[in-house]
Structure 1
Amino acid sequence: MPQPDGYSDVPAGKIAAVVTHLEMTACPSRRDDPPGAWRLRRVERPALDWYRDLYRRVGEEWLWFSRARMSDATLAVLIHTPGVEVHALSADGSDEGLLELDFREPGQCELVFFGVTSKLIGTGAGRYLMNRALELAWRNDVGRVWMHTCTFDHPSALAFYQRSGFRPFRRQIEVANDPRLDGTTPRDVARHVPVIE
């Protein structure tokens, strides 16, 4: 159902974000890696505690909550299923970046989750991770790579994805229960999105 023009109320206890879907239908020219001592490794059948910890450290400030609300059984099925790959970006011996790719749709790859922890933002690690993500995404018989971001993400995220070769093709509004009010995330994260009870 189309939304009316103008303002729409978001009920107390909810959050609302504008989600932008982006895609590329041809492998972009390779961009140079920034200087840095990072390494990407695939994590086969990731342990749930490890995955949840990295997911939280990368995404909590941007209100990533979908995987945090999943039961262990649901999460395990999702990240252990054939066609889904989980990769970790390591810096100084610690996992500080998350890349999740979904190849289950023939001819496509979705960058499901992509990001680095706050200590790596602005260091070039994101560019390094995106370079590896695109190499991995396009290595098979793929004709489309896509992802989405939202207005809760880092203010530079959308422009970064567009510089990387992605083109916006769809916009949606996502409304959900505020994860800070039900204990999914700490109450003091994502100060750029005010809590309204």
Structure 2
Amino acid sequence: MNDIATTAPHLNLNGYTSLPPGKIAAVVTFLDMTAPPRPLEERGDGGLTLHHVTAPDPGWYRALFRRVGEEWLWFSRLAMDDAELAAVLASPDVSIHALRRGGEDIGLLELDFRVPGEVELAFFGVAPELVGSGAGRFMMNRALALAWASRPARVHVHTCTLDHQAAVAFYMRAGFRPYARAIEVADDPRLTGLIARGAGRHAPPIAE
């Protein structure tokens, strides 16, 4: 899951649009499903477990958020102060889960139930070294079981071109349907100091 957009604004532009130095842009794809899908085929659990983390500490959350998402330029939660982040994490309608193996946290799942009748996979990802290992399929099957247990009308997610190149295809295999796209522009978090300057090698920063 990507970190930039949360809504799909209407755009009516053609051709190139220049960005000033210090900015990044991404094409965001919005996907949803309106019925529980068939689970993804798994290779076995490989010692993986998914744990519900109640009232997570902001420091713990940020560390896992960074481990999972820094290479893909996830930054929004890193920009929040402790009070703001703690308020989100403490919401009874936000459910945080950690993918674990051998006592180590290696994946992050955040389900957002705050909109009645909907569930958003607000953040979903595994540590970069586990991409392609089957860990994502293991976590997705359990994420969707948790989401659909509340009997929503819709489950949705979004991702973008700053994320792993296989993200959209993975979500579609899991049963999501793309329904909208948008362009999102933000300050480059590597240049503001939120994440490491060497992160996101697929989208190098452009400074002054």
Q: TM-score by structure 2 length?
A: 0.92
Whether 2:12 is the aligned partner of 1:24: answer no
Structure 2 matches for 1:42-191, cutoff 5 A?
A: 42-191=52-201
Deviations 1:19-64 (A, max 9, x none): 1110000011123322221000100000111100000000000000
Letter of the 2:41 counterpart: D
Letter of the 1:71 counterpart: D
Of the candidates 24, 31, 43, which is equivalent to residue 34 of structure 1?
43
Instruction: State the shift of 1:139 in Å.
Output: 0.4
2: CA distance, partners of 1:74 / 1:33: 37
C-alpha RMSD of the superposition: 1.0
Instruction: State the shift of 1:121 in Å.
Output: 1.4
2: CA distance, partners of 1:160 / 1:68: 26
Letter of the 2:63 counterpart: D
Q: Tell me, what secondary structure is at the counterpart of 1:67?
A: helix
Q: Tell me, what secondary structure is at the counterpart of 2:76?
A: coil
Q: Any runs of at least 4 consecutive aligned residues in structure 1 with deviations exceeding 6 A, and if so which? A: none
Letter of the 1:191 counterpart: R
Give the equivalent residue in structure 1 for 2:3: none
Q: Tell me, what secondary structure is at the counterpart of 1:61?
A: helix
2: CA distance, partners of 1:168 / 1:84: 24
Whether 2:17 is the aligned partner of 1:8: answer yes
CA contact (8 A) 2:53 2:96 kept: yes
Instruction: State the shift of 1:170 in Å.
Output: 1.1
Deviations 1:91-141 (A, max 9, x none): 121000000001111111000000000221121000000001000000012
Moved more, 114-123 or 157-166: 114-123
Instruction: State the shift of 1:143 in Å.
Output: 1.3
1: CA distance, partners of 2:170 / 2:11: 29
1: CA distance, partners of 2:17 / 2:67: 32
Letter of the 1:6 counterpart: G
1: CA distance, partners of 2:197 / 2:177: 34
2: CA distance, partners of 1:120 / 1:2: 35
Letter of the 2:167 counterpart: A
Question: Alignment identity in percent?
Answer: 56
2: CA distance, partners of 1:98 / 1:162: 20
2: CA distance, partners of 1:30 / 1:190: 31
Q: TM-score by structure 1 length?
A: 0.97
Q: Tell me, what secondary structure is at the counterpart of 2:78?
A: coil
Ranges in structure 1 where 5+ consecutive residues have no aligned partner: none
State the number of aligned residues: 197
2: CA distance, partners of 1:138 / 1:34: 23
